[in-house]
Amino acid sequence: MQQGVWQQKWVIGNWKMNGSSAQNTRLLEEICALPQADKVCVGVAPPALYLAPAAAQLAVADSANPICLSAQMASRFNGSGAYTGEISAPMLADVGVKLVLTGHSERSLYFAETAEQRRSQLEHILAADLQPLLCVGESLAQREAEQHFDTVAAQLAVLKDLSFVNGVAVAYEPVWAIGTGKTATPEQIGEMHQFIYDTLLSLLGGGVNIRILYGGSVNDQNAAAIFRVAHVDGALVGGASLKSEAFAAIIRAAQETD
């Protein structure tokens, strides 16, 4: 990630387990054709199977907005070895990936990923000179029990003693707002983003670049209001990133927000 990126809003599209060769090619063509947005770092995270074709397409694209190719996860195992089905951080770097999601709640929910595994992923992502984007967030039960700050603090603790050459990036995604159509209020977002910012300074010290994204049913209707909240440095976008018109509107909202 280039140094100037840390002054931009980030809009990263997490495609999850969606798409096909034809659909992805068309979607990337439409994203690359969007008007220039120099205040925004735009990224897409296709399924791993489609990363190499996406990298090849982006390499020849005449785009006003260079696209940051992102991966949805990296293996907790590094290098190579007898780990059937796994994809290591160096392999992701080899095909042109620049940013890697880690800690997404769906990985914990469906694949029982632990904090220890997340820590290993982070170490390997950094060792491969890639930028991790750590996802954190509380469940509805934790929010209602007023355990949301403790929950997020525990999730952020995996960053302790790691060395971030460029900076640290976190996506706050309240689990109860992912894919549900529910969005945290501006007050809830602002409160949590301030907490994350303060916690990162405590863990890593001053002088580190910090980007805190919001995720959780971000769409073209609510993006502008979300971007106006203090310490919201961008968005991790799910379903809306699969529709070029909606994704374009989110990028435009980020571009127009100071």
**Which residues are annotated binding-site positions for substrate?**
14-16, 179, 217, 238-239
- 173 catalytically annotated: yes
Number of Cβ within 10 Å of residue 192's Cβ equals: 24
Q: How far apart, in Å, are the Cα atoms of 254 and each of 32, 39, 57, 202?
A: 17, 8, 25, 28
Closest CA relative to residue 43, chosen from 58, 26, 21: 58
192 with 112: CB under 8 angstroms? no
Residues annotated in a binding site: 14-16, 179, 217, 238-239
Using CA atoms, how far apart are residues 14 and 213, in angstroms rounded to an integer?
13
Q: What is the DSSP letter of 237?
A: E
Please pick, among 106, 113, 138, 173, the residue that the annotation labels catalytic: 173
236 with 250: CB under 8 angstroms? no
Using CA atoms, how far apart are residues 184 and 62, in angstroms rounded to an integer?
37
Please pick, among 104, 124, 148, 231, the residue that the annotation labels catalytic: 104
- 193 catalytically annotated: no
Known catalytic residues are 104, 173
